[in-house]
Structure 1
Amino acid sequence: MNTSSTPSFAAKFDIYWRLMRFHRPIGIYLLLWPTLWGLWFAAGGLPPLKVLVVFVLGTVLMRAAGCVINDFADRDFDPQVARTRDRPLAAGEIGSGEALRLFVVVALIAFGLTTSLHNVRVLALALPAVAIAAAYPFMKRFISIPQAVLGLAFSWGIPMAYAAVRERLPIGEIAALMLANIAWVIAYDTYYAMADRADDLKAGVKSSAILFGRADRVIVLALQWIALLLMAGVGVAHALGWAYYAGLALAALTTLHQWRITAAREPAACMRAFLHNHYYGLAIFVGTALSMPPVSL
């Protein structure tokens, strides 16, 4: 890294902004939608405003922290991948020690935000949330489907949401929502990994796209629909109306669009399919919100 001159405040801010991936908010959306599913199901409608604000801000901060630790873990791999070689750590715009300090600061701010709820159970769940988020990027070296760990990290807001608004936790319902989200995360992150498959094979990085091989698209579609079936089951348990199932139907339509555009497995198309999952999560949330009374517990 060039240390001959000290970057200006604006230049440093830009580096941090890009390192936390705020210029590409898709990850915020993909983490936010299942968290909001959990909040709405837990509260039976609109959750208390303070809880909603804390969880939305916490989602933004934890996604930022996750991006930083991901790039720290992949600092030796990213320069070998065309799509990631311009990231700040890979390009040498920031040192690994500074990036690690940024991760700690952002994670601590997120944890501090959680303390404002004065809820011991939420705080107890927040600690493993940080641990799982920090562990995920390193799983690419050890397990063939690191997306499963990402799914767990992106689902952890669900039990936290229930702990924030419920005295007693419905374990079966929480498990169903988490399993649905984990299936969905593995699905959409497989599309993401399909875009990088050639480079990942050269770099020796493991991914679900490599593991699934030519069955990748079939498995992705199956996982997306398994997630929808699980969500439908939760909807039945809550006796939700037509709007909820209309949301699930719209989400199902997005999966068919993704299936169509990825037929040739062209990397740019796989990336578009990944990005399109924003609408899958949004459709489910809108259906959920419209099916529940707009009142706080």
Structure 2
Amino acid sequence: MAPPSLLQGDIPVRSWIDRLPPSWGPYCRLMRLDRPIGTWLLLFPCWWSTALAAERWPDLWLCLLFALGSVVMRGAGCTVNDWADRNFDGKVARTATRPIPSGAVSPRQVLWFLAAQLLVGLLVLLQLNWFAIGVGAASLLLVFPYPFMKRITYWPQAWLGLTFNWGALVGWAAVRGDLDWPPLLLYVAGLFWTLGYDTIYAHQDKEDDVLVGVKSTALALGRHTVPALWGFYGLALALIAAAGWTAGLSWPFWPLLAVAAAQLVWQIRTVDIDDSPNCLLRFKSNRWFGWLLLLAIVAGRVW
């Protein structure tokens, strides 16, 4: 996150986007291209599952397809979110500079841009086998309702977990053309992982959420957040271990999984739910957890 002097609301300035033609900037910011952590969090379950399903090394072509698909579909999800929140964002100083409330783009332009992103996502999906195409297309049933969950339930992070970890199913399906216990266990593990990291993230926004009347696990859990994180991350690790066991990963998986687990423990032991920069740093650190777990799965498969 840029320091306060380099922010307009919640949008970083003086980033590489500012060097693009002015007409491109709002669309890049709709996709959050200047904040790639969301793309990593969407991508890792795809890569984990692809590696878990592999005979030895994960398929590089599939990994590249999932990388492109994650950029586009994360962008589409953020675009849907901004369109759905267009009447809320203008009421909060932190989000008032986003492309729609600031007037940089119109809601109609946003919908056309969303259609273009979905078309690119479809083209990526069509490179997979038919079973994986069906599994991937089913994710849209989760993507579009997500922006409205924070108006309905205090657990929108659970819906995000269901959505962001769908790649754990698609990755396996793309390699093997079916689904089995390892990807299902990995998918549920991802749900609890997301509950943890997005609850930490939501503590940055709790005052604004109260102001505009939306809900989050940060508000639901309050001072019970840290004990809940032990539960969320503990369940995630147990289910990841079960996925590795049922997939038949060899012994290097286990010590490397312990290293990944230590990263989650560090998050819990050092988080300060009343310090926004602290929460953001721990949220972003999940990229390292993603890499460590990927290394563990690949090592357990290749050894």
Is the TM-score greater than 0.5? yes
1:85 aligns with 96
Paired AA for residue 293 in structure 1: V
- Structure 2 residue 279 is the aligned partner of structure 1 residue 267: no
Q: Cα offset for 1:17? A: 0.9
TM-fit CA distance, 1:120: 1.8
C-alpha displacement at 1:284, in angstroms?
0.6
CA drift of 1:48 comes to 3.1
Structure 2 gap ranges (5+): 1-19
1:42 CA displacement: 1.5
Corresponding position of 1:143 = 153
Q: CA deviation at 1:183?
A: 0.3
Aligned runs of 1:54-73 on 2, under 5 Å? 54-73=65-84
- The TM-score normalised by the length of structure 1 is 0.89
How is 1:106-121 mapped onto 2 (pairs within 5 angstroms)?
Answer: 106-117=117-128, 119-121=129-131
**Distance in 2 separating the partners of 1:155 and 1:123:** 16
Residue type at the aligned position of 2:240: M
**How far apart are residue 242 of structure 1 and its match?**
4.1
Deviation for aligned residue 1:155: 1.4
1:210-225 equivalences in 2 (<5 Å): 210-225=219-234
Aligned to 1:291: 300
Superimposed CA distance per residue, residues 123-165 of structure 1 (whole angstroms, 9 cap, x where no aligned partner): 2122222232121111111122011111111111122122211
2: distance between equivalents of 1:182 and 1:226?
10
Which residue in the other structure is 1:102 paired with?
A: 113
C-alpha deviation, 1:238, in angstroms? 3.1
Q: What is the CA-CA distance between 1:66 and the residue it aligns to?
A: 0.9
2:43 aligned with 1:43: no
What SS is found at the alignment partner of 1:141? coil
Contact kept? 2:203, 2:273, Cα under 8 Å: no
Query: Are 1:165 and 2:175 an aligned pair?
Result: yes
Segments of structure 1 that go 5 or more residues without pairing to the other structure are 1-8
Tell me the distance in 2 between the aligned counterparts of 1:40 and 1:78.
39
CA RMSD in angstroms comes to: 2.0
Aligned counterpart, 1:32 = 43
Instruction: Give the letter for the 1:55 counterpart.
Output: F
Contact between 2:131 and 2:178, CA under 8 Å: does it hold in 1? no
Tell me, in whole angstroms, the C-alpha distance in 2 between the residues paired with 1:145 and 1:239: 34
| CA displacement, residues 196-247 of structure 1 (integer Å, 9 cap, x when unaligned) | 0111011111111111121112112321121011111122223434432233
TM-score (ref. length: structure 2)? 0.88
Amino acid at match of 1:200: D
Match of 2:247 in 1: 238
Number of residue pairs matched by the alignment? 285
Deviations 1:4-63 (A, max 9, x none): xxxxx8111111111101111101111111111111112233333332222221111111
